[in-house]
Amino acid sequence: MDYPETSGVAASGEYLTFTLGAEEYGIDILKVQEIRGYDAVTKIANAPPFIKGVINLRGVIVPIVDLRIKFNLGAPTYDQFTVVIILNIGKRVMGIVVDGVSDVIQLSSSNLHPSPEFGSILDTRYILGLGTVEERMIIVVDIERLMTSQEMSLVEAAAA
């Protein structure tokens, strides 16, 4: 529903950056509810392997997706340094496991460039643009579109 607003070139604002493999990604900070450590999850039967399971987040059952598994970034480890970003997307709450959270950056539309077709681990459909901050390239992700997409199988397929 919000796609027309968020697709295309992203508006300027604050972005939370995290690393996945060798790449650095940015997501709209307003979609982030909190960042927490990785807890034991309860497995969900017959779910794809990147869906680690669900956790109890203060009484709310929240599914956890390991983006490292989703994007085939080697064997994931779970220790006290593993970070889960809890996202608030639409009315849903979900968590993503990433390699690490770097920082919060300010990106204005002037240093955000439309993404060319390139071989990112992410499909360009989910990329809003590329930003540059101090020589670092940040891939700005339309996290809402990514998390609600069919391939994440987090949401019920519409009229399936």
Minimum gap (Å) between residue 156 Cβ and another protein = 4
Rule CB under 8 A: say whether 61 interacts with another protein.
Answer: yes
Rule CB under 8 A: say whether 36 interacts with another protein.
Answer: no
Handedness of CA 10, 86, 65, 93 (dihedral sign): negative
Minimum gap (Å) between residue 131 Cβ and another protein = 29
Minimum gap (Å) between residue 61 Cβ and another protein = 5
Rule CB under 8 A: say whether 43 interacts with another protein.
Answer: yes
Nearer to another protein, 21 or 53 (CB): 53
Written as six digits, the tokens of 105 are 């950056």
- Sort residue 58 into left (φ over 0), alpha (ψ -120 to 50) or beta: left
Where on the chain is the footprint of another protein (CB under 8 A)? 40-47, 53-56, 58-63, 92-94, 153-156
